[in-house]
Amino acid sequence: MAAEERQVGDLPEECLAHVIALTSPRDACRCAAVSRAFRAAADSDHVWHSFIPEDHRAVLLQALPPETNTTRKKDAYLGLCHRGVPVDGGGLVWLDKASGDAYLGLCDGGVPVDGDDGGCRMWLDKASGAKCYALSARRLSLPWDDGEFSWKWTRNTLSRFAEVADLVDCTCLDIYGRLPAAALTPATAYAAYLVYGTAEGHRGLSYPDQETAVAVGGRVLERHRVCLRPDDAETHKFRGAGLIAESSSGAIDGREEPKRPRRRGDGWWEIDMGRLNTTGAGGELEEEEVVASFEVLGWYPKRGLIVEGIEFRPGIVLAHIDNSISTIIPEA
């Protein structure tokens, strides 16, 4: 009598859960649709526990309210939604479940990190589980931050931070954001974004050219022309007069069209500042500092820029695991 044929779904739940835990949140959700056996494994505590970065697991587990302590970690994490959780010196983090995504509330709300001033927030990318960071304007290096003559610190109802920076008036404008490379998820392609708005009556934010750069350990990886407030009429005027500024480094191809901003769902604008690839765990990059910068090329009056912060978000995971179910994960 021929041996009974066995399917992958016949494997023990613990075995399936171990394999699924080596993939990603997106792959786990896909696996849950395969069969009842796969769904049980994909929803298991082992799988979802593995998707939370080790350096933040303790904070989340301790922050769970008593009424959300259930036998399933996935349900317990969902209990974090719509609640203020005391972390880092008593500050509150609000987790948002508005997207309906099942990825543990961490993906939308974010957690204050590195002190209790709320100047840096971390959350997880829904598709890959990679860490994302947002640096508030207070954490950035701003030119001429000398009281309210150049910058004014105000509250903004659209911001997740206590304050944003309003540009009152300046002639030299360059902004820098810094983050330890070790804070980023290893083996992941990241992009940096300037998150901003503009006030009525803004000036000097259309043209001449503006420049962004991303550097690691002092080495510039990418440099781009950008434009925070594209205005085709202004473009023709400045180009016709020969006033479009060129980079002093000469690193930018003069034929490159400036990158344009994207309007976000939260009401802010963002501009892609450049990309970088992190190395595997223990690589040399972990000892370096990532610097994302924005500069307006030209000494002339500028005003009306509202800076919310700089974000670092993943694009793809370069090597999630060797020979995994999905080793290339596009951005959600």
In the chain, where the domains are located:
8-111, 133-317
Q: What is the pLDDT of residue 218?
A: 87
pLDDT tens by residue, 237-257: 555 555 544 444 444 445 578
The C-alpha atoms of residue 241 and residue 10 are separated, in whole angstroms, by 73
Q: Provide CATH code, domain 133-317.
A: 2.60.120.260
Strand order in the sheet with 210-216: 173-180, 289-296, 210-216, 219-226
Q: What is the pLDDT of residue 90?
A: 35
- Name the more confident of 78 and 130: 130
Spatial CB neighbours of 255, under 8 Å, sequence gap ≥ 6: none
Q: Do 179 and 311 meet the contact criterion of CB atoms below 8 Å apart? A: no
Q: Which two tokens stand for residue 299?
A: 């000494």
Residue/partner pairs of 73-76 with CB below 8 Å, 24 or more apart: 73/45, 73/48, 73/49, 74/43, 74/45, 74/48, 74/102, 74/104
| Stretch 141-162: mean pLDDT | 83
Q: What is the pLDDT of residue 109?
A: 56
Q: What is the pLDDT of residue 286?
A: 66
pLDDT level of residue 223 (50, 70, 90 thresholds): very high
pLDDT tens by residue, 34-61: 888 888 888 888 887 777 777 666 655 5
| Stretch 103-130: mean pLDDT | 66
Residue 58 parent element (H or E): helix 54-63
pLDDT level of residue 234 (50, 70, 90 thresholds): low
Is residue 312 scored above 80 in pLDDT? yes
Q: What is the pLDDT of residue 130?
A: 81
Q: What is the pLDDT of residue 267?
A: 92
3-state secondary structure of 175: strand
| Stretch 107-114: mean pLDDT | 59
Q: Which two tokens stand for residue 66?
A: 């008593």
